[in-house]
């Protein structure tokens, strides 16, 4: 049975090439004469056969070359002292020829594997480029979709708020014109209707904020968290003064965030602390610390607290604490906070003891060296 490649038996082509090469070397040896040894030329047919037919065929030619070398040694009757050196010389040549065949076969295998690896890398690179182009196309489609969604949300919010404003205006006009002439039941109905219109208007505004968080310009910019908190406290100044709250803070860092979204975070968290207060005047403290590769902010209050079973669900849409009191709000504020934080690659969580206060934490990654303003 004859096998090509690296098979154990040489093929006719390998035998022919090897035999021709050995014959040429032997002929050259006889032409050169006994004074010249051409044993190194046997490496040529060994190399050719090994490269084109495989290492087994190369070993066959190596053995043939050794026998041919031994034959020329006997034919020229070269003297050896002691005679055993001839056997040693032949053995050394056989070892060299076999090693040359195996080394060349190993080199060819290594080159073939290298070519396969390069081919695989080229295929992977081509696939990656195709995936990148597809991803870029999807990103453009997503950006366009987000822009359209934001525009649609503004249009819908305007269309929904317009009739609410009209309803509220007519109710106010009715109450003003009728004045004390309205019966108690009618006056109560008007008041409930006006309150419902205001709540619906607030809900539409919050839904608009939630739908547009992360849309539009996604660029990050340096944002002074301390200045953002100051702006929020100024906006909430009336509520803070009305309930006798005291808000304190540590020096806050400059972070990289989307414009206005740090303000939105503080707005919702501080407003929650003011709304869900206990019998004592609210005490709110805002702090931040650098941990590993993120800034961890904390907004601590002394309010009514949150039961452990509600610690996760309060970040969902329309989730409100069962306080038993009529606390204003739409139940979207913390969902907006979560969307903002996670949109920056961060996380938000709460730690609380019912009746003893709550601390909201949110962590923003340090995507660039941040600096802390002096106190």
DSSP code per residue over 66-111: HHHHHHHHHHTT---SSTHHHHHHHHHHHHHHHHHHHHHHHHHHHH
105 vs 60: CA distance, rounded Å: 13
Give residue-wise pLDDT tens across range 60-98.
888 888 888 888 877 777 777 677 787 887 888 888 888
42: pLDDT strictly greater than 70 = yes
Confidence of residue 250 (pLDDT cuts 50, 70, 90): very high
Structure token pair of residue 180: 């004390």
pLDDT at 1: 39
Q: pTM higher than 0.75, yes or no? A: no
Distance between CA atoms of 285 and 305, rounded to whole angstroms? 15
What pLDDT shows up at residue 283?
Answer: 94
The mean pLDDT value for 100-129 works out to 89
The residue-averaged pLDDT of 310-325 equals: 69
Residue 38 has pLDDT above 80, yes or no: no
Q: Quick one: 340 exposed, middle or buried, by C-beta within 10 A (0-12, 13-18, 19+)?
A: buried
Residue 213, pLDDT score:
66
* Number of neighbours of residue 248 by Cβ within 10 angstroms: 10
Best-predicted range by mean pLDDT among 66-75, 300-309, 315-324? Answer: 300-309
């Amino acid at each position: 049975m004859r096998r090509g490649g690296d098979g154990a038996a040489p093929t006719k082509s390998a035998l022919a090439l090897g035999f021709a090469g050995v014959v040429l070397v032997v002929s050259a040896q006889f032409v050169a004469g006994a004074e010249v040894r051409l044993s190194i030329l046997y490496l040529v047919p060994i190399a050719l056969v090994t490269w084109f037919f495989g290492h087994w065929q190369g070993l066959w030619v190596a053995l043939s070359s050794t026998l041919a070398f031994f034959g020329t040694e006997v034919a020229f009757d070269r003297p050896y002292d002691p005679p055993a050196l001839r056997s040693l010389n032949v053995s050394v040549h056989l070892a060299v020829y076999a090693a040359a065949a195996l080394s060349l076969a190993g080199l060819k295998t290594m080159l073939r594997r290298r070519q396969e690896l390069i081919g695989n890398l080229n295929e992977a690179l081509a696939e990656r480029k195709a995936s990148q182009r597809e991803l870029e196309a999807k990103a453009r489609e997503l950006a366009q979709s987000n822009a359209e969604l934001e525009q649609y949300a503004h249009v819908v919010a305007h269309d929904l708020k317009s009739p609410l404003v009209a309803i509220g205006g007519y109710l106010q006009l009715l109450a003003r014109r009728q004045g004390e002439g309205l019966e108690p039941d009618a006056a109560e109905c008007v008041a409930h209707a006006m309150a419902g219109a205001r709540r619906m208007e607030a809900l539409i505004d919050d839904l608009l904020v939630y739908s547009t968080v992360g849309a539009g310009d996604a660029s990050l910019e340096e944002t002074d968290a301390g200045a953002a908190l100051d702006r929020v406290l100024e906006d909430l100044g009336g509520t803070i003064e009305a309930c006798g709250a005291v808000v304190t803070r540590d020096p806050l860092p400059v972070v990289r965030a989307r414009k206005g979204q740090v303000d939105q975070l503080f707005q919702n968290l501080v407003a929650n602390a003011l709304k869900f207060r206990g019998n004592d005047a609210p005490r709110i403290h805002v702090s931040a610390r650098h941990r590993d590769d993120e800034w961890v902010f904390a907004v601590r209050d002394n309010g009514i607290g949150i039961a452990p079973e509600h610690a996760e669900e309060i970040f969902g849409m329309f989730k409100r604490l069962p306080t038993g009191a009529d606390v204003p709000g739409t139940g979207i504020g913390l969902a907006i906070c979560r969307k903002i934080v996670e949109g920056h690659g961060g996380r938000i969580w709460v730690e609380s003891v019912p009746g003893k206060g709550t601390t909201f934490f949110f962590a923003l990654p340090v995507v660039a060296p941040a600096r802390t303003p002096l106190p």
